[in-house]
Homo-oligomer: A and B are copies of this chain.
Amino acid sequence: MPGVPPTRFVFLGPEGTFAEQALRTIPAAEHGSRTPARSVPEALDAVRAGDADAALVPLENSIGGSVGVTLDELADGEPLVITREVVIPVQFVLGARTGTPLAGIRSVAAHPQASAQCRRWLRENVPGAAVIDVLSNGAAAQAAAAGEHDAAICAPIGAERTRLTVLAKDIADHADAVTRFALVSRPGPPLAPTGDDLTTLAVYIAHDRVGALLAVLTELAVRGVNLTRIESRPTGERLGRYVFFLDCSGHVAEARMGEALQGLRRVCADVRFLGSYPRAGADRPTPAPTGTADADFADAASWLARIRAGEGL
């Protein structure tokens, strides 16, 4: 639960992938247990069942293709909340056993999406090598370490774990790609606001109603709540309903976010609160827009109370 430091961590495995690398950036995880899960649902179910205190799963990335699964799993079943986000750069390396020269590489093990992201580099540097699809970045490193293939595209932690030599680093075609992970726990009182927080929501609206999404965004905008991410997904269960995953600037304990949430609750088919947590990378704090700070709400509330009491106005 938020508030109680978790000690038993689960993460999307296998070992040696970006998820483990992300988990290692959390101090508490260094002192706790870290168990890999075979899938996002398995990781989240471990938390739901009480077998783990927190799960680290990918939330938004261009790597593992698990984002949709994560969102769907958070929106369904027993409620869970995000208590922390971890954003790490996607720094692919080419790893090989010691002594292997770049020129001698004939086969490269890689997750299909990893090799897709390094296509330009591969074409220019190892044009003759065959790319062998494997199931994960971690599996790629292990395959190279085991001598099954000459080299692997993997995360730095994967190369380190399997004692591969890094022949080249930062080989992704887009140098500044990042992956965003969420640390997920069972519901509890949210952490105190830091002044630069995000709140994640799953909002359900009726399908094909013109302006429904516009109405949702307007509920946020009039309270000065900005949107940093939005994703619509069809709900499998029932045709004619859509769910939107929103990342909003602000914290549920703030007045502006509280009023916005109540507005969504009133106008949407359903709303699921998925956590308020500090924004990763505190270098760009976003203050509440003019008129939407807690003090502004408090002033407006006392003004209204005076009017309702028929006092001096």
Q: Are B68 and A307 in contact (CB under 8 A)?
A: no
Mask of A211-234 contacts with B, CB within 8 angstroms, 1/0: 101110111011010111111111
State A146–B187 Cα separation when bound (angstroms): 46
Mask of A250-271 contacts with B, CB within 8 angstroms, 1/0: 0011000011011101110000
Shortest CB distance A276–B (Å): 9
Stretch of A22-30, A91-99, A100-108, A294-302 with 4 or more beta carbons under 8 angstroms from chain B: A294-302
Q: Say yes or no for A190: interface residue by CB 8 A criterion.
A: yes
- Residue in A61, A218, A262 with the greatest tally of chain B CB atoms within 10 Å: A262
Q: Are A265 and B299 in contact (CB under 8 A)?
A: yes
Within 8 A of B (CB), among A66-82: 66-69, 72, 79
How many interface residues does chain A have, given as a range?
35 or more
Q: Say yes or no for A195: interface residue by CB 8 A criterion.
A: no
Q: Are B226 and A210 in contact (CB under 8 A)?
A: yes
Chain B residues, Cβ within 8 Å of A286: 208
Q: CB < 8 Å: which of B2, B40, B214, B217 contacts A310?
A: B2
Chain B residues, Cβ within 8 Å of A68: 61-62, 65, 67
Q: Say yes or no for A6: interface residue by CB 8 A criterion.
A: no
Q: Are B312 and A187 in contact (CB under 8 A)?
A: yes
Q: Say yes or no for A7: interface residue by CB 8 A criterion.
A: no
Q: CB < 8 Å: which of B113, B188, B244, B297 contacts A266?
A: B297
- Residue numbers of A with Cβ under 8 A of B are 1-3, 38-41, 60-62, 64-69, 72, 79, 112-113, 115-116, 119, 131, 133-135, 174, 176-178, 187-190, 207-208, 210-211, 213-215, 217-219, 221-222, 224, 226-234, 236-237, 239, 244, 252-253, 258-259, 261-263, 265-267, 272-273, 284, 286, 289-292, 296-297, 299-301, 303-304, 307-313
- Nearest first, the 7 closest Cβ-Cβ pairs linking A and B are A65-B65, A174-B236, A189-B310, A262-B300, A266-B291, A188-B310, A265-B300
Having A62-B68, A177-B236, one finds 12 other A-B pairs with CB under 8 Å, namely A65-B65, A66-B113, A112-B135, A176-B239, A178-B234, A187-B310, A187-B313, A207-B228, A208-B228, A210-B221, A265-B303, A266-B292
